[in-house]
Chain A
Amino acid sequence: MSKFDARIPAGPISEKWTRFKQNMKLVNPANKRKHTIIVVGTGLAGAAAAASLAELGYNVKAFCIQDSARRAHSIAAQGGINAAKNYAGDGDSIYRLFYDTVKGGDYRAREANVYRLAETSVDIIDQCVAQGVPFAREYGGLLDNRSFGGAQLSRTFYARGQTGQQLLLGAYGALNKTINAGQVQMYARHEILDVVVIDGKARGIICRNLVTGEYERHSGSAVLLCTGGYGNVFYLSTNAKNSNVTAAWKAYKKGALFGNPCFTQIHPTCIPVSGDYQSKLTLMSESLRNDGRVWVPKKKEDCQKHPNQISEEDRDYFLERRYPSFGNLVPRDVASRNAKYVCDEGRGVGETGLAVYLDFADSIKRLGKHTIEERYGNLFEMYERITGENPYEVPMRIYPAVHYTMGGLWVDYSLMTTVPGLFALGEANFSDHGANRLGASALMQGLADGYFVAPYTVTDYIASNPLETINESHPAFDEAEKESSERIQKLLNIKGKKTVLEYHRELGKIMWDQVGMSRNKVGLEQAIKDIQALREDFWKNVYVPGEANTMNKSLEFANRVADFLELGELMARDALYREESCGGHFREEYQTEDGEALRNDEDYAYVSMWEYKGDHVEPDLHKESLVFENVKLTQRSYK
């Protein structure tokens, strides 16, 4: 057993959250304004938490690296948000959403947290509608639902293909209301460089003003990291260019444990890489697989032919062939892995040979172009804008891409890391999605954590702990600022030969090849060595242009890549230790005869928790055993 306690309330799963709320300690309204709460990141989790905590009466400081709180990467989520409303009357319930999420996560998530997520999901929809979020509606005026991967019910609420945007703008509105009321101070274009820990508790942050380069100190009673995921460790991902791990990584180095770092979601339907200049990947909603058929040529020599010239009998609809019952609608991890296999066999298409076709010709024949246009018109347009090809006439080319990281800072039931007073919300924590996240669940988690969980658990923490006022001239701030500024200066002083981009690309290649869709012992061990060598070289030979006291995005990127170069190693290490295949983590040594993921519940039904021990020392592995009392563990099968 771990020495770290998840502090899950006692009682039946359906009563845990209610009991927590009933038993939590409260802060007197007059005292709330004496407490400053620092919220880092203004995505769904951050904006929702900042607004909700400010409404309660706390003094909130919110930080984001973008020029406006509205630009956080939650904005790019397309598909939708799940909620157990059962508006479709198809038998949905909190338990079913909970069950699907635990199962979809391949039984590597913590039951109590997931149940609470399902419970609060219903309140989220109410909240967002009240804010004026224009969800899709039926002619009768009621909310429309659709179904999404991994669920047999219609429980996904959506706003065209821009659900994330609409939800974020709702939260941004709530944040603006509190800013206008003077309850929140907003710091845009500010990047957190360190967490300040005093007497074992998180009491502040050091951040850098990205316009002037000045270092700033902010103290508070609690620090909430709502800083998203770390998919950009792969260089190419669907994440925004500025998404990074720095805040979480600094927290890790200050004593917060990192949970399940190797759990990465690779999304099957992305627009493939077209050349070395590629800077990021674009996701195409997974809803496309409802009507598109995935195939590659049977023969290698057909791969460079025009797809419309390849006859039906020369096409391999490999998902339909291998998974007759689910076909093109297998879960994300299965679809991604199979695309990789056929490309590894040399049957990939496109210039790079790293793509498979997603063909709508049959659907257009069956349903008519108009119907397809109505369903996917905006996606087809986006595809054409990027590739210059018309998917109504030529099959789309798609390839998997890194999309989401299920791993993150380990948190207890209160979403508090192992550093008291330091919380992690949304994608930044590890808690709800296990080894694989279901579609339309990320938005749900971000908002649940921000609106409905943190406001209670942060209050409970503040009420339960004596928190005397901390002066920002405290030596701990001096030290953290000194470390941060020295590192920035060091990056500028190396004046080597290679650019940050070159290092980032190299790291990405190691990660994608060895710590990507399928992993093995030899490759992972090699990856650890390669990353270490690359990191060492980085600190000797990187060239960062410009100065520290102006806007300097090259410097910002250098600082983030430096952290990715450390995180990558931890991910490889975590993947190496987890000798099983589960969800997005596929170890080639652990597969069934048919090549499917083989879980090992006996030995690996735990959350790996990594403890930082020093820059040149291997981290310690702790384990939180996962106990499943409410769902039965089964092997997933989509045959």
Chain B
Amino acid sequence: MSHDNMTIHLRVWRQSGPNAKGNFEQYTLDTVNPHMSFLEMLDVLNERLTKEGQVPVEFDHDCREGICGSCGVVINGTAHGPQQRTASCQLHMRHYKDGDAITIEPWRAKAFPIVRDLVVDRTAFDRIQEAGGYVSVKTGSAPDAHAVPIGKEVADEAFDYAACIGCGACVAACPNASASLFTAAKISQLALLPQGQPERKRRVVAMVDQMKVEGFGDCSNHGECEAVCPKGISIAGIAKMRREYFKAILTGK
């Protein structure tokens, strides 16, 4: 383990507002500790900018444990950076070496307009979920939890899809800016579980339609989304979503 501080050359996207023109700014940090997380490195940059009377770089972050899905930037061309199954907040600087140059960009998609610097508006994801990503069950009206047994394999597979943190890396990495993996994850989770059956057809049609309304692109099966997903959600879910959709269109009301 190295304790030596590294020098890192940053190229960061700066954009003062949604309609402003953005550009890259260069910064050099010479006190980057290998044990720092990527976001802590940005903290160091912001602290310096503040001390110099400049405006710090805005980026979304919250739990810094890789579960809330707030953070996410494109690091040297890859959403969440080089380490797989790792959100930006859990990437550590030990993956870089002294003198490295790092380009940091926001998620780019029409459906994710830039708010400021590296912060984007991901409310399109919320609207896709609002379209049907739930089981309609009124509070207090549920039957006993053991009324319907669910096989372990089914529950585990549903969990794999439910693990989505809604960070948007799938959209960011997709050459087409498609939201298919995000949408498929919720659809697949609920289609697998008995609780999701009554609304199964309505749900898939509403959510798939909403993706298009929001301006996400088509999926061309590049599979880049799975590679950058911090939870490693499988694109088999996208195939499942498509099956669900065909079934719903063919047999739904």
Contacts and interface: CB of A to CB of B under 8 A. Distances in A.
A386 to B, nearest CB: 7
Interface in B158-212: 158-159, 162-163, 165-166, 189-190, 193, 195-196
A5 to B, nearest CB: 28
Nearest to B163: A162
A137 B155 contact: yes
B131 interface: yes
Nearest to A138: B152
A377 B104 CA distance: 31
Interface stretch (A176-184, A307-315, A412-420, A604-612): A176-184
B121 interface: yes
A388 B55 contact: no
B16 A550 contact: yes
B189 A134 contact: yes
Given A130-B142, A134-B159, A451-B139, A76 B65 contact: yes
A129 interface: yes
Contact of B155 (A136, A282, A452): A136
Contacts of A552: 58
B51 to A, nearest CB: 7
Contact of A68 (B55, B56, B141, B166): B166
A137 B142 contact: no
Q: Which of B115, B139, B156, B159: most chain A CB closer than 10 A?
A: B139
B54 A127 contact: no
A157 to B, nearest CB: 8
Interface string A162-185: 100110010011101101100000
Given A129-B145, A162-B163, A388-B1, A67 B70 contact: yes
Interface in B80-138: 83, 86, 90, 92, 94, 115-116, 119, 121-123, 125-126, 129-138
Q: Which of A135, A174, A279, A546: most chain B CB closer than 10 A?
A: A279
B50 A543 contact: yes
A548 interface: no
Interface stretch (B6-14, B33-41, B214-222, B244-252): B33-41
B143 A126 contact: yes
Nearest to A85: B145
Contacts of A172: 129
Contact of A127 (B39, B62, B142, B158): B142
B43 interface: yes
Nearest to B86: A385
A451 to B, nearest CB: 5
B224 interface: no
B159 A142 contact: no
Interface string A206-228: 00000100000000000000000
Contact of A279 (B40, B50, B155): B40
A67 B121 contact: yes
B146 A131 contact: no
A132 B190 contact: yes
A75 B68 contact: yes
Question: Interface of chain B, helix or strand or loop or mixed?
Answer: loop
A55 B139 CA distance: 8
Contact of A131 (B137, B156, B158, B165): B137
Given A137-B151, A162-B163, A126 B62 contact: no
A160 interface: yes
Contacts of B1: 388
Contacts of B130: 176-177, 179-180
B155 A134 contact: yes
A133 B182 CA distance: 17
B62 A73 contact: yes
Given A140-B149, A385-B83, A75 B43 contact: no
B44 interface: yes
A143 interface: yes
A545 B112 CA distance: 26
Interface residues of B, number: 82
Interface stretch (A270-278, A323-331, A474-482, A631-639): A270-278
B178 to A, nearest CB: 19
Contact of A132 (B90, B126, B193): B193
A552 B190 CA distance: 38
A513 B231 CA distance: 37
Interface string A64-95: 00111111010110000000010100000000
B160 to A, nearest CB: 9
Given A277-B44, A551-B116, A76 B68 contact: yes
B67 A165 contact: yes
A69 B126 contact: yes
Nearest to A450: B139
A554 B116 CA distance: 13
B40 A132 contact: no
Given A70-B69, A275-B36, A130 B123 contact: no
B64 interface: yes
Contacts of B33: 274-275, 277
Interface string A255-285: 0000000000000000000110111101100
Interface residues of A, number: 81
B63 A455 contact: no
B195 A135 contact: no
Given A131-B135, A545-B49, A277 B43 contact: yes
A143 B90 contact: no
B50 A67 contact: no
Contacts of A554: 46, 50, 56
A245 interface: no
Q: Which of A66, A134, A554: most chain B CB closer than 10 A?
A: A134
Q: Which of A140, A386, A452: most chain B CB closer than 10 A?
A: A386
Contacts of A551: 58, 115-116, 119
Contacts of A129: 142, 145, 195
A130 B137 contact: yes
Given A70-B166, A177-B134, A385-B86, A452 B68 contact: no
B129 A132 contact: no
Given A138-B152, A275-B35, A68 B142 contact: no
Q: Which of B47, B53, B83, B129: most chain A CB closer than 10 A?
A: B129
Nearest to B162: A134
A241 B62 contact: yes
Contacts of B46: 554
Given A134-B193, A550-B16, A241 B61 contact: yes
Contacts of B142: 123, 126-127, 129-131
Nearest to B43: A279
B60 interface: yes
A455 B138 CA distance: 12
B4 interface: no
A553 interface: yes
Contacts of A143: 145-146
Q: Which of A67, A125, A136, A138: most chain B CB closer than 10 A?
A: A67
B150 interface: yes
A499 B52 CA distance: 11
Contacts of B123: 67-68, 188
Contacts of A159: 159, 162
Contacts of B51: 499
Given A139-B151, A143-B145, 14 more contacts: A51-B139, A55-B139, A66-B70, A71-B63, A127-B140, A132-B162, A166-B162, A176-B134, A211-B115, A240-B68, A241-B62, A385-B83, A388-B1, A554-B56
What 8 A-B pairs are tightest by C-beta distance, nearest first?
Answer: A141-B149, A173-B134, A130-B142, A52-B139, A134-B159, A126-B142, A129-B145, A240-B62
Interface of B: 1, 3, 16-17, 33-37, 39-40, 43-44, 46-47, 49-51, 53-56, 58, 60-70, 83, 86, 90, 92, 94, 115-116, 119, 121-123, 125-126, 129-146, 149-152, 155-156, 158-159, 162-163, 165-166, 189-190, 193, 195-196
13 contacts: A52-B139, A70-B126, A75-B68, A131-B137, A137-B155, A159-B159, A240-B64, A242-B62, A274-B33, A275-B33, A279-B40, A501-B43, A554-B46
